[in-house]
Amino acid sequence: MDPGGAVVLVTGAGSGIGRATAYLLAARGAHVVAVGRDAAALRDVAEATGGTAVQADLRDPAEAERSVRAAREARGRLDGVVANAGIGHAGPVADMTAEQVARLVDVNVRGTLLLGRAAAAAFGEQAAAGDHRARGLVFVTSIAGAVGVPGESVYSATKAAVESFAVVLREELRPGGVTVATVLPGVVDTPFFDRRGVPYDRTFPRPVPPERVARAVVAALESGRARTVVPRWLAVPAWLSAAVPGPYRALARRFS
């Protein structure tokens, strides 16, 4: 899809990757519908981009559909969706409360799948009405969903679930000309680690700026490329984890 003149909904748009993506899309000529929980941050993004702010908490099952509806009402249609909202958690799974597990699943999996469902329905309705312009979905997941990170087992599982969903949804929506892509960031310099309650204290790999991930997200919308890992070298451990999981896990234990 061409961002120029497109209407693109971005979740988690109040900060980090979502905000960087909103700014970049606006610079490419898109009308951004910024979705998130922080009303003040969303207003700032909407003012800076000339877009639309929609306050929503995707833990509520009704909010995904409401957000898509608000985007269509704002500009008359919807051309793209960047499903970026997500939360993290670090620590032994045995120490997690049931509520913490449910919260990760509600936001990272259920909210994301419901957003994909609502977007697919909207795209289908627009195509049935004769609007056949190119459209796209991008799910921002995580390298943790590809390799699994000890101490972040539930978070890793939620991101792996979205990766699996995207693979099947891609084939389901392909006949209608809708592309479905995933972007798997590694460590990104955002408030994510502050919010999860455990800072990132490793010297390697070094965090990348959110603008770098935003460029990959916009490129995925433009090209429809199925899967992009940021930074690219992390595609190697992702491939090894899938191809030779035993040796990969032994190496990971050795060098982690």
CA pair distance 101, 78, nearest whole angstrom: 32
Q: What is the largest CA-CA distance in the chain?
A: 57
Place of tokens 């700026």: 209
Note if 23 is an active site residue: no
Q: 108: which 2 tokens?
A: 């990272």
Pairing of strands 52-55, 80-83: unpaired
DSSP 175: G
- The candidate with the shortest Cα–Cα distance to 165, out of 124, 127, 114, is 114
CA pair distance 124, 183, nearest whole angstrom: 24
CA pair distance 215, 223, nearest whole angstrom: 12
| Annotated catalytic residue within 23, 155, 200, 248 | 155
List, by residue number, the catalytic residues.
155
